[in-house]
Amino acid sequence: MLGCDVSINIDIISTMDRINIMKADRKPNLVDYLTIVSKRRIFIYKIILIGAMTSLIISLCLRNQYKATTTILPPNPQQDLMFGFAAPSVVGSFGGYSGITSLLAGGTGPSDLFASILNSSRVTGAIIRKFELRKVFKVKTYHDAHKKLEEITSIGVSPEGMIEVSVIWYDKQLAADIANAYIDELDQFNTEAAMSVGKKYRIFIEERLEQAIDTLAKAEEALREFQEKHRTVALDAEIQAAIETVAQLKSQIILHEVQKGAWSAAGQADNPYLYSINRDLKELKKQLAKIEFGKKDEATQEFGAGFSVPFAELPEVSLEYARRYRDVKVQEAIFELLTQQYEQAKIMEVKDTPTVQVLDRASAPEKKTSPRRSRIVIFASFASLILGVLGTFVLESFEQLKLRPDEYKKWTNIYNKINNDLKKIKTFIFKIVPIRAKR
C-alpha cells in the first residue's frame, strides 16, 4: 500500500508540473489579467483610498491663490506728441509713431515695447520697493525678489495689441495692487521719458532757431541791398515758383538734419530710424540739385520739379537776384518750421498727462484660481488606481517566482548582495560622522 501511495503522489506531482508548464507556455489573455486584479482587489481599494485621502489632506493644506488682471489698450500711433519726432517724410509735424516706440525700439511694435518696459528692472524694482516684497516673499536680496515677482506675474500681448498684466498671489488685494502698480509705473516712466526728451529737443531746437533768426535777418538785408542797387523788384512767375519749391525742399532738408541731430543728442545714434532720415535726406538733396544744376529730362523736357530752365542758366543779374530771393524764402520757411517745432518741444517738456489708456483696472478677485482640490483628488485617485493595478501584477509575479526555485534563489542572492552593500555603506558613514563631529 505504501508503494502504491508513493506512486500516486508522484503521478499527482508530475501532473501538476505538466499543468504549470502548460500554463507557462500559454499566452495570458484578458481573463487572466482580470483574475489577477480581482484576486487582489482589496489591495487596490486600499491604495486608492490612501491616495485619495492623502491628496485631500495635502490640497486642504495648500493656500488659496488669486489671480488679478489689468488690461490696457494698445498705444495710439496718432496720440499727442509725447515721446518722439516726426516721420522723416512729413514736414512741419511730429506724429507717426508713439514716441516711446521710436525712442527705445527702433521699429518694435508699440504694444510689444510697452510689454518690454513692464518686464524691465526699472519697473519691477519700483514695485518691489513700493510693496516691500522682500518681506512678503521672505527673501533677503532684491535679485531673489525679482525672480519671485517674475514667477507670479504674466505679461502678454494679444493679436489686437491689448496688453494684459496678471498677478497670482495668496493675498487677493495685494495681487490686484501689484497688477495696477505695473500700469502706474509704466505711465510714470513714459511721462518722465517724454519730459526728458522734450527738454533735450527743446534745447536743440532753441539753438537752431536763434541761428535761423540771425540768418534770416542777414538774407533779408542782402536782398534789400541788391534790389536798391539794381532796381530789381520782381521775378518771372516760373522762376518765382521754382524758388518756392526750392525753399520747401531746403526747409525739409533742414528739418531732417535737425531731427538727425536730435536723435544723436537723445542718445539714439544707432537707432534704425536714422537710416530712414539719411535716405530721405539723400533724395531731397538730389531733387534740389536737379532744380539748381540738373540736366534736362529727355522725356519731359523739364528740370527737376517741372521747370524748363535751371538756375545755373539764368542771366547773371537775374541769377543773383534769384539766389538772394531764394535765401530769404528758404530762411523764412526754416524759421516758420523751427518755430512750430520749438512750441511742440516745449509742450513735450512739460506734458504730464496719462500716457496709458486702461481698459480694465485690476480689483480683488472673488474666486480663487488655485488649488483645484476636486481635480487634485480625482487625479490622485486615478493615479492610485493605476499604481494599485501595477502593484498587483508585481506581487503576482513574485508569487509565481516562488514556484520556480532556481530563479527565486537567484533573485534572493541579488537582494542579499545589495542589502549587504547598503549595510557596509551605512557602517562606513557612521564611522566618518563621529570623526568630523569631534573636529
Q: State whether residue 157 is helix, strand or coil.
A: strand
Cα–Cα distance list, 87 to 102, 118, 191, 230, 277 (Å): 10, 26, 21, 43, 8
* pLDDT in the model for residue 101: 40
pLDDT tier at 192 (50, 70, 90 boundaries)? Answer: confident
Question: Any residues with CB less than 8 A from the CB of 386 and at least 6 apart, and which?
Answer: none
CA separation (Å) from 30 to 34, 35, 36, 383? 6, 8, 10, 21
Per DSSP bridges, beta strands 358-360 and 163-169 are unpaired
* Mean of per-residue pLDDT scores for the chain: 75
How far is Cα 216 from Cα 333, in angstroms, rounded to an integer? 10
- Supply the pLDDT for residue 71: 93
Element (H, E) at 200: helix 172-230
Q: What pLDDT was estimated at residue 182?
A: 94
pLDDT tens, residue by residue, 19-61: 554 455 567 778 888 888 888 889 899 999 999 999 999 989 9
Q: Is 259 helix (H, G, I), strand (E, B) or coil?
A: helix
Q: Give CA 417 to chain center in angstroms.
A: 57
Nearest CA among 274, 107, 103, 265 for reference residue 189: 103
Q: What percentage of the chain exceeds 70 in pLDDT?
A: 69
Cβ atoms 166, 175 nearer than 8 A: no
What pLDDT is stored for residue 299 in this prediction? 47
Spatial separation of the C-alpha atoms in residues 208 and 190, rounded to whole Å:
27
Least confident of 66-70, 162-166, 281-285, 381-385: 281-285
Q: Give the per-residue pLDDT at 25.
A: 53
* Percent of the chain with pLDDT strictly greater than 90: 22
Query: What integer pLDDT is reported at residue 180 of this predicted model?
Result: 94
CA nearest neighbour of 178 among 189, 163, 167: 167
Q: pLDDT at residue 3 above 60?
A: no
Q: DSSP class of residue 313? A: G
Q: Say how far apart CA 256 and CA 271 lie, in whole Å.
A: 15
Residue extents of the structural domains in the chain? 19-62+371-403, 66-360, 405-439
Residue 319, judged by CB atoms within 10 A of its CB (0-12, 13-18, 19+), counts as: middle
pLDDT at 33: 81
Per-residue confidence band for 263, with pLDDT thresholds at 50, 70 and 90: low
In the predicted structure, residue 356 carries a pLDDT above the cut 70: yes
Separation in Å, CA 262 to CA 1, 113, 195, 196, 206: 121, 21, 14, 12, 12
What are the φ and ψ backbone dihedral angles of 65, each rounded to 5 degrees?
-115, 145
Lowest mean pLDDT among 9-18, 254-263, 396-405, 411-420: 9-18
Average pLDDT over residues 247-271: 69
Who wins on pLDDT, 105 or 189? 189
Rounded distance between C-alpha atoms, residue 229 and residue 382, angstroms: 106
Report residue 231's pLDDT band, with 50, 70 and 90 as the boundaries. low
Contact 331, 212 (CB under 8 A): yes
Q: How far is residue 375 from each of residues 2, 158, 371, measured CA to CA in Å?
A: 67, 29, 9
Is the per-residue pLDDT at 391 higher than 70? Answer: yes
Say if residue 67's pLDDT is above 90.
yes
Residue 199 contacts by C-beta under 8 Å, 6 or more apart in sequence?
349
Between 86 and 213, the higher pLDDT residue: 213
Q: pLDDT tens-digit profile of 85-127? A: 443 333 333 333 334 344 433 445 678 888 888 998 889 999 9
Residue 311, pLDDT score: 52
Rounded CA separation 196/260 (Å): 17
Written as nine digits, the cell of 198 is 522734450
Residue environment code for 109-123, b if the CB has 16+ CB neighbours within 10 A, otherwise e: ebbebbbebbeeeeb
Cell of 312: 545755373
Quote the pLDDT of residue 396: 84
Average pLDDT over residues 185-193: 83
